[in-house]
Structure 1
Amino acid sequence: MKKLLGLLVLLSTAAFSRELTLESAIDLALGNGKSIKATELSKENADLNVRRAFKAALPTVTYNGQYQRSEHTQRSMNDMAEDAKSGYTQTIGVYQPLFRGGAITGGIIGAEASKNMANIYLLSEKRDVRLDIISIYSSIINYEKDLTVLESSMKELEARQMKQKEQLDLRLITKADLLKTEYSILDLEAQITGTKTNLDIAKKDLKLKLMIPTNEDIILKDFVVPENLTAGIEFDKDLDQALNNSLSAKLAINKVDYAAAEKIVSRSSLLPQVDAFGTYGTAKESHHYNNSFDNAEWRGGVTVKWDVFSFGSTLDQYSVAKNNESIEFLNAELTGDNIKLTVTKNYRELIRLQQLKNSRSKALEASTENFNIDTERYNAGLISTVDYLLSESQYRQAAVDYNSAVLNYYVAFEKYRSSLI
């Protein structure tokens, strides 16, 4: 019966757990992320706005119908016999823009720039989501490795504690030696609890990002970090790529184009608007609804609308648009400076973390060798409990520091790569 219950528990656990690799986690985030879906909808809106901008140059068909009552009204001869003060008018017409002062062209240019920006925002969001998942995934692997080291040390100290109790009974050590070991165990328990808490929070964060149910457990597969990630980096070429072809650089250029389009549109308000039209319907009121059909006629021509005087408001609007264009030119220059600074900063941080990884690898090698020697010396009674516990603590910390350095090094490499995109 116990075996059956154990099997059921095992199957239940397997049914609610999912194994992930770094690549599959990234794919899930890119496919299920809410921020990406929102950005995709914004891109779809930008595509629709481009279509709307082109359609502004096409003719429109408009129906106008009206019924009104008034105090005094002009009527046709057919309606003179009626005394009611009401009437009908209705027309259907075709209107074709002939001249808009550049408003249609500016609208198309602006919509195209907006579409390009929406595409860039989508790619930027995907880039940022990918980097975020790499960071969270790496932190989980790091916590799991730390937990392995800490729990291994706990087993070592607990076994040492049991042996020390026997030695204390035989008066081979003092009570102080045992108390020091117990203190180290309590301190280690606090570290394990903190690591487990951080691990649990990081896993919950990852499941939220991947849209995985909270009751489903995830098992992350470790990945190998190459020894020398900077070997193929050519910094000068990378910097040139970032300054000219990165998403940030392209976004700045399209913002300038959008501001230029807004200037064209605002300038059109200073110029007349010319439309060709053709209508069919009644121009005057008809007392009877049927007469508004029977007396209908064709009309056509050209209309001109020009706001000749508006206290300078349209000129002020144009001046604002010109200033906005200048602002975006300056922002584009600032973007270039920020790109240069960010890429340089990320590269130097990558070099620093590579050096730190190498140094901590040597520290781990040295502390491991030292701990093995001190363990033998302690067992032989050649060193004190304090010296042994210090050696064990140094070994444990060196292992934790090395795990952290390796994964931070990898995240820094991905961050540098992302700054080039």
Structure 2
Amino acid sequence: MRFWLAGALALAAHAAPAWAAPITLDEAIAAAETHAPSLAMARAEADAADKRADAARAAGGPTATLTGSIGWGRLDPGGYFGLTATDVTPRAAQVGIEQPLFAGGRISGARMTARAGAEAAEAGVLQRRTTLRADVAQAFGGVLATQAGLQSASGLVKAVAVAANQAKLRFKAGEVPSTDVQQAEARLAEAEAVLANATGHNDAARARFRRLTGLSPDSLAALPGSPPLPATLDEAIGEAETRSPAIAQAVAGLAAARGQARMAKAEGLPQLAAYAEASSVRDQFFPGYRGDLASAGVRGRWNFFASGRIRAEGQAADATVHAAEARLADARGSVREMVIAAFANVRSTGLAAEAAVRQKRASEAALASVKQEVRVGLKPTLALLDAERDAAQSAMQAANADAQRIATAWGLRALLGRE
């Protein structure tokens, strides 16, 4: 009894993967977001940019410093003031607090630059995530399409092989000419080439899916319907202008350039800060020496001449701002163009998928009719071979069209910044 139970458990464990539910597209996307190193890198970069923004914000607050020193030695004043050589322990300590009052734009420029960097990094995370989802949708559909192509190609080889054998038998019986046999053999070689090509495409599609998701594509669910999308082209363009990661990064780049320009020009302006300091010194100049000091006030610094360096750096920063403005305009134009093309592709691939399904059904019905007609001698073997090829091609086209439908839909969502 115990051996029977152990065998049953082992059999159940071996068969468990076959009972598992097929992987859905949503599950594949979730696995990819957990698995993708590029998305993890983008998130880490965004965290670092957030911390840099925090540091820039803190630069306008007060800072407190504490310095000190202690030593051991022997001091010999040479009889000055009647002092003789003696061992001393010179030590000093100083504590200070400083609060910037005016920095000419250095602090505000640094804050603007750091904040823009954080916004650009967040847009980069969104872009990476939406692009990854589109890539997974394309890879998911690609596996299903190549699997369907492989199945159709395998079926075509078997069907053409049967037709070729029948043609040979009928030729031997004197029912058909040798041309039928030669045509069947040629179509069989063609079908075998199609099968080899389909095998290669399927292997590549499986490898890409596994790389993106970390999952094995042995059991995938059918493709779902297209995800929600804008109803009109105007809505798609408006949403892209508001949410597109590419545009958001260009906007952040312009803000960062303006912050850098403010910092560059601030180099020629004075700086003011309020301070308070206290210090204590012992045994510094002669044995028993002590000195304590406490002070508060305003400290300033003005670099009013730098041989043209500050002016040149300001002009360079202004040119960088103009370049960033041009990049933003280019990004908006490029995104608009891509959205228009993607929106049209979504419509066309949807219609193509519907047409491909109708073509597949018609080809299958035609194949069934041709089989009957060839069987009773109303049509030659070549007609059956053509019908078999047409049916296989239409099945492949239907699978590819459905994969294109889902890929273009998710591609448009990536352009819009939809998650």
TM over 0.5: yes
> Deviation at 1:284?
10
What amino acid is the match of 1:252? A
Distance 1:336 1:350, change over 3 A: same
Q: What does residue 349 of structure 1 align with? A: 345
Q: 2-side partners of 1:127 and 1:79: how far apart?
A: 83
What amino acid is the match of 1:264? R
Distance 1:148 1:236, change over 3 A: same
Q: 1-side partners of 2:380 and 2:288: how far apart?
A: 116
Q: Do the aligned residues in 2 keep the contact of 1:142 with 1:407 (CA within 8 Å)? A: yes
Alignment of 1:317-332 (within 5 A): 317-332=313-328
Q: What does residue 33 of structure 1 align with? A: 36
> Deviation at 1:197?
2.4
Q: 1-side partners of 2:60 and 2:228: how far apart?
A: 54
Q: Do the aligned residues in 2 keep the contact of 1:256 with 1:329 (CA within 8 Å)? A: yes
Distance 1:20 1:347, change over 3 A: same
> Is the aligned partner of 1:111 residue 2:114?
yes
Compare 119-128 and 163-172 and name the one that shifted more: 163-172
Provide Cα deviations, 1:206-225, integer angstroms capped at 9, x if missing partner. Answer: 2222234xxx5641111244
Q: What does residue 297 of structure 1 align with? A: 293
Please, which of 174, 197, 201 is the counterpart of residue 198 of structure 1?
201
Q: 2-side partners of 1:181 and 1:366: how far apart?
A: 23
What amino acid is the match of 2:276? G
> Is the aligned partner of 1:134 residue 2:137?
yes
What amino acid is the match of 1:108? R
> Deviation at 1:88?
6.2
Distance 1:180 1:79, change over 3 A: farther
Q: Do the aligned residues in 2 keep the contact of 1:225 with 1:407 (CA within 8 Å)? A: no
What amino acid is the match of 2:254? V
Q: Do the aligned residues in 1 keep the contact of 2:25 with 2:224 (CA within 8 Å)? A: no
Distance 1:395 1:10, change over 3 A: farther
> Is the aligned partner of 1:99 residue 2:97?
no
Q: 1-side partners of 2:272 and 2:83: how far apart?
A: 38
Q: 1-side partners of 2:411 and 2:96: how far apart?
A: 59
Alignment of 1:283-294 (within 5 A): 286=284, 294=290
Distance 1:336 1:264, change over 3 A: same
Secondary structure of 1:220 counterpart: coil
Q: What does residue 405 of structure 1 align with? A: 401
Structure 2: which 5+ residue stretches go unaligned? 1-5
Q: 2-side partners of 1:376 and 1:318: how far apart?
A: 85
Q: Do the aligned residues in 2 keep the contact of 1:58 with 1:97 (CA within 8 Å)? A: yes
Q: 1-side partners of 2:25 and 2:147: how far apart?
A: 15
Q: 1-side partners of 2:261 and 2:82: how far apart?
A: 52
Alignment of 1:261-276 (within 5 A): 261-276=259-274
Q: Do the aligned residues in 1 keep the contact of 2:53 with 2:114 (CA within 8 Å)? A: yes
Please, which of 364, 380, 387 is the counterpart of residue 368 of structure 1?
364
> Is the aligned partner of 1:340 residue 2:336?
yes
Q: 2-side partners of 1:200 and 1:177: how far apart?
A: 35
Secondary structure of 1:295 counterpart: strand
Alignment of 1:18-417 (within 5 A): 19-65=22-68, 81-82=84-85, 90-212=93-215, 218-225=218-225, 233-281=231-279, 286=284, 294-417=290-413
Q: 2-side partners of 1:229 and 1:241: how far apart?
A: 13
> Deviation at 1:48?
0.9
Q: What does residue 415 of structure 2 align with? A: 419
What amino acid is the match of 1:187? E
Q: 1-side partners of 2:82 and 2:253: how far apart?
A: 61
Provide Cα deviations, 1:173-232, integer angstroms capped at 9, x if missing partner. Answer: 3444334323322322232232222222222222222234xxx56411112446x998x7
> Deviation at 1:264?
1.7
TM-score, normalising length: structure 1: 0.84
Provide Cα deviations, 1:89-135, integer angstroms capped at 9, x if missing partner. Answer: 55332222222112112222222222222221111111101000000
Q: Do the aligned residues in 1 keep the contact of 2:94 with 2:280 (CA within 8 Å)? A: yes
Q: 2-side partners of 1:6 and 1:317: how far apart?
A: 79
TM-score, normalising length: structure 2: 0.84
Q: Do the aligned residues in 2 keep the contact of 1:143 with 1:195 (CA within 8 Å)? A: yes
What amino acid is the match of 2:214? M
Distance 1:58 1:172, change over 3 A: same
| CA-atom RMSD in angstroms | 3.6
Distance 1:247 1:94, change over 3 A: same
Distance 1:9 1:145, change over 3 A: farther
Provide Cα deviations, 1:147-172, integer angstroms capped at 9, x if missing partner. Answer: 22222223322333343343344333
What amino acid is the match of 2:348? R
Q: How many residues align?
A: 408
Secondary structure of 2:219 counterpart: strand
Q: 2-side partners of 1:93 and 1:79: how far apart?
A: 36
Secondary structure of 2:95 counterpart: strand
> Deviation at 1:74?
11
> Deviation at 1:362?
4.2
Structure 1: which 5+ residue stretches go unaligned? none
Distance 1:128 1:217, change over 3 A: closer
Q: 2-side partners of 1:98 and 1:181: how far apart?
A: 91
Compare 313-322 and 363-372 and name the one that shifted more: 363-372
Secondary structure of 2:304 counterpart: coil
